[in-house]
Structure 1
Amino acid sequence: MEKFSVLMSVYAREQSTYLEEALRSVFEQTVPPSEVVLVKDGPLTTELETVIASFAERYKSLKIVALAKNMGLGNALNVGLSACTYRLVARMDSDDLSLPNRFETQLKAFEKDLEVSVVGGWISEFENNPKQIISYRKVPEFDCEIKHFFLSKCPVNHMTVMFRKEDILKVGGYQHFYLLEDYWLWTRMINEGCKFYNIQNILVNVRGGAAMAARRGGWKYVKSEIKLQWQIWKMGLIGVYAFSRNIFVRFSIHMMPSSLRCFFYKKVLR
């Protein structure tokens, strides 16, 4: 199968045990990556550094990119992307768990369709125990369905994707967009006519639940959502009705108390 890179980023506030589990799930694949590019987004804790050193000793394919200061996810991923050797790149978050056949399944999808730019898939979510799944996020399979889904919701699970590096760079790569770097990337790729595909199976087990929904609230997040919807409307990808509906729904949910937001976030925005 074709060689590929895995792109990850980690920063000081993340837990070392989560990073260890995430890295293990990346290396212990039915088709392991040709290289793993791990961006250290600013100075890290001793515990995180210990985990990274342990994996670097065991796996020579682990490439470390160290940033002098924290630059934020979008900027860190851009730096990491430039360090990726291969034309296919898989994204991986530093606290999630890839299923053992994830990369093999995605590589087969790229072999089957030479025109596809991004291959994602479904996620399962857990809070404390990876074996106790609390929810799923399933996204449409085919390009036309994905682009219709995009009119109201993010159509791709970022932590699951494998993509063609050249197509990402063609639209300007990752760009800073508060908590919405991925949604903004898919927007620009859809605007350029790139082709998407979502595997109709779970690829990644994600740490989600109430804590994730709680972070998706407050005025700063609402402003970011409004800014993104405004950009989508200006590009002509949605009409006035969809723009107004999306703003109303997002404003209402993101400004709710955390206890209510968790429920409506899963039911409406996921």
Structure 2
Amino acid sequence: MRKYSILMSVYYKEKPMWLRESIESMLSQTVKAEEFFIVKDGPLTDELDEVIDEYVKSYPELFTILALKKNMGLGPALAEGVKKCRNEIIIRMDSDDYSVPERCEKLLRELDKHPECGIIGSYEAEFSDDMNSPVAIHKVPETSEQIHAFMSRRCALLHPTVLYKKSVIINCGNYHDVRLYEDYDLFMRVVLEHNVKCYNIQENLYYIRINDAFFERRGGISYMKTAVGFKWRQHRKGYMSLGDFMVSAGGQAAVCLLPNKMRKWVYLNFLR
């Protein structure tokens, strides 16, 4: 099958045990990567460095490490990684999540079925303590037409689940430094501005960790201002109609202002 690079960004707040589990899940793929590219987004803890150094020593030809001098944020860190990955096909992975063993094989096979697509994604399962007992399955539209229609109100591609073509991401401007919305910003440009075809596998291939802090980060006045400001800028660019902006930003603003328990309930029961 096609050669591919795994792209992961790590910063100092990650837990070493979760980083190890994430890396192991990608090393256990049924179709192996040709490159595992890790961006150190600023100085890491000694424990995180030890985990990465252990894998570099064990797999010297597989791992490529880019160490940034200071913490740049996810968007800029991944932008550097995209430019320097040595393969056209890049598969994303977050440093505290888990991929099922067949994930990369299924993404690659789907790309063979849809060679016109620039991005292939999937569902993701959200879990707290036990992956075997997920609290929600985050579902997204399947076809390129459905993704295009959905994108004007909510992001229709789940960032850590995706395979994308390096040339497509660079041609669409790569990641920008957009706090909290680096993925949505990029995918809007890919789908709505450049009309790149995409596809989502209607199956969970990815497990993402969530807890109460996950929902707390998505609430409050500051988060609300960031969300509404981002969506207003997307409206001004023509990616959202005024009606789409009012529905999307208004709904998110209301959810941001809810108490955390209610916000968690809304996410798990209505936004998944």
TM-score normalised by the shorter chain: which range applies? over 0.9
Give yes or no for contact 1:124–1:205 (8 Å, CA) kept in 2: yes
- CA deviation vs aligned residue, 1:211-250 (integer Å, no higher than 9, x gap): 3111112222212211222233223333222211112111
| Partner Cα separation in structure 2 for residue 161 and residue 220 of structure 1 | 29
What residue number does 1:201 align with?
A: 203
What residue number does 1:238 align with?
A: 240
Amino acid across the alignment from 1:226: V
**Equivalences for 1:1-270 in 2 at 5 Å?**
1-60=1-60, 61-190=62-191, 191-270=193-272
Runs of 4+ with >4 A deviation:
none
- Find the residue that maps to 2:225 and give its secondary structure: helix
- CA deviation vs aligned residue, 1:146-196 (integer Å, no higher than 9, x gap): 112223221011110000111101111011111111011111112211111
Higher deviation after alignment, 86-95 or 132-141: 132-141
> 1:111 deviation in Å?
1.2
| Partner Cα separation in structure 1 for residue 268 and residue 86 of structure 2 | 37
| Partner Cα separation in structure 1 for residue 69 and residue 234 of structure 2 | 34
- Find the residue that maps to 1:177 and give its secondary structure: coil
TM-score (norm 2): 0.95
> 1:40 deviation in Å?
0.7
- Find the residue that maps to 2:115 and give its secondary structure: coil
- CA deviation vs aligned residue, 1:54-101 (integer Å, no higher than 9, x gap): 111122201111011111111111111111000010110000001101
| Partner Cα separation in structure 1 for residue 255 and residue 146 of structure 2 | 25
- Find the residue that maps to 2:56 and give its secondary structure: helix
- CA deviation vs aligned residue, 1:12-67 (integer Å, no higher than 9, x gap): 11100000000000111000111011011111111111111111112220111101
| Partner Cα separation in structure 2 for residue 247 and residue 80 of structure 1 | 31
Give yes or no for contact 2:135–2:268 (8 Å, CA) kept in 1: no
Higher deviation after alignment, 83-92 or 224-233: 224-233
Amino acid across the alignment from 1:100: P
- Find the residue that maps to 1:256 and give its secondary structure: coil
- Find the residue that maps to 1:86 and give its secondary structure: coil
Unaligned runs of 5+ in 1: none
Identity %: 37
Q: What is the RMSD computed on CA atoms of the aligned residues?
A: 1.3
> 1:255 deviation in Å?
1.9
- CA deviation vs aligned residue, 1:98-140 (integer Å, no higher than 9, x gap): 1101110011111112210000000011112222211110111
- Find the residue that maps to 1:226 and give its secondary structure: helix
Amino acid across the alignment from 1:257: P
Give yes or no for contact 2:83–2:170 (8 Å, CA) kept in 1: no
Give yes or no for contact 1:153–1:269 (8 Å, CA) kept in 2: no
Amino acid across the alignment from 2:201: I
Give yes or no for contact 1:125–1:209 (8 Å, CA) kept in 2: no
Unaligned runs of 5+ in 2: none
- Find the residue that maps to 1:119 and give its secondary structure: strand
Amino acid across the alignment from 1:129: D
- Find the residue that maps to 2:49 and give its secondary structure: helix
| Partner Cα separation in structure 2 for residue 227 and residue 196 of structure 1 | 27
